[in-house]
Amino acid sequence: MKKHWMRTRRNDPEGLRNRVLDVAADLFQSRGYHATGMREVVSATDTSSGALHHHFPTKESLGVAVIAHRVAPAVRETWIEPIRRAESLQSGIRKVFRNVIGGIDRRGAVRGCPLNNLAMELAYSDPLFRDALQSIFTEWQAALEVRIADTPGGGRLGRARRAAAATFIIASYSGAMNLAKATQSAAPLRVAVRTLSEWLREQQVVAG
């Protein structure tokens, strides 16, 4: 049975690659990129160093792949798609915060936003990581700008002011998430969504 399992594993390179990405993404989230060694990834995936390096020759290549194939999809699932599908911008934002807060309450712990965590650790020192992370923020901001433009208030704003509003929404969430992680409490997120909702109403960036 063991030999058959090992043979199946060797013949499933895509499965191995996905397993490595899942494990690495979890380790980067819980420990940080710099604190995670390739040996830990090898051990946690129960594979060989040679097999790991076949898919990811360097730790940097693994990190970039995690950003592209795990962090980016997580941001799309958590933020971008809910905003695109929502009946209104405000209802979409409220739903995002509600889902995130609900997850924190169920887990009883705050690990933080995967994008924010890696951005704070890597964006300053490594241009390759900075570009990969920035592309996600750009996609996120673009989705918000589209919904802002559909609102009565947002439709009257110029492009630069719509971009500024989208930046403010992302910054509000990111800052609240960092505070939530520091305090291990969802309270900052609850405050942020209430304040953000009031700001959206004041700007008439609500419906649409």
Write the pLDDT tens digit of every residue in 165-203.
999 999 999 999 999 999 999 999 999 999 999 999 998
Say if CB 55 and CB 16 are below 8 A apart.
yes
User: Quick one: 26 and 82 in the same domain?
Assistant: no
User: Quick one: 34 and 99 in the same domain?
Assistant: no
CATH number (domain holding residue 5): 1.10.10.60
SS3 37: coil
Q: What is the pLDDT of residues 197-207, one digit of tens each?
A: 999 999 888 77
Q: Give the DSSP per-residue string, 45-107.
A: HT--HHHHHHH-SSHHHHHHHHIIIIIHHHHIIIIIHHHHHSSSHHHHHHHHHHHHHHHHHHH
Q: Pick the last residue of a domain from 36, 57, 78.
A: 57
Nearest Cα neighbor of 165 from 55, 91, 89, 114 is 89
User: Quick one: 43 and 99 in the same domain?
Assistant: no
User: Quick one: 105 and 177 in the same domain?
Assistant: yes
User: Quick one: 52 and 143 in the same domain?
Assistant: no
48 lies in some domain: yes
114 lies in some domain: yes
Q: What is the pLDDT of residues 72-81, one digit of tens each?
A: 999 999 999 9
User: Quick one: 2 and 95 in the same domain?
Assistant: no
160 lies in some domain: yes
User: Quick one: 29 and 73 in the same domain?
Assistant: no
Residue 11: its pLDDT value, please? 66
Residue 123: its pLDDT value, please? 95
Residue 144 φ/ψ, nearest 5 degrees: -70, -40
Structural domains of the chain, count: 2
Residue 205: its pLDDT value, please? 81
Residue 10: its pLDDT value, please? 54
Residue 183 φ/ψ, nearest 5 degrees: -95, -5
Q: Quote the CA–CA distance of 93 and 89 in Å, as a whole number.
A: 6
Q: Quote the CA–CA distance of 28 and 44 in Å, as a whole number.
A: 13
Q: How many CB atoms lie within 10 A of CB 142?
A: 12
Residue 4: its pLDDT value, please? 41
SS3 112: coil
Q: Which of the residues in the chain have pLDDT under 70?
A: 1-11, 208
User: Quick one: 165 and 73 in the same domain?
Assistant: yes
User: Quick one: 139 and 96 in the same domain?
Assistant: yes
Would you tell me the crossing angle of helices 38-45 and 59-66 to the nearest 10 degrees? 60
User: Quick one: 85 and 153 in the same domain?
Assistant: yes
- Across the chain, mean pLDDT equals 93
Range of the domain at 120: 66-202
**Residues 161, 167, 173: CA angle, nearest 5 degrees:** 140
Residue 72: its pLDDT value, please? 98
151 lies in some domain: yes
208 lies in some domain: no
20 lies in some domain: yes
Tell me which amino acid residue 50 is.
Answer: G
Residue 2: its pLDDT value, please? 42
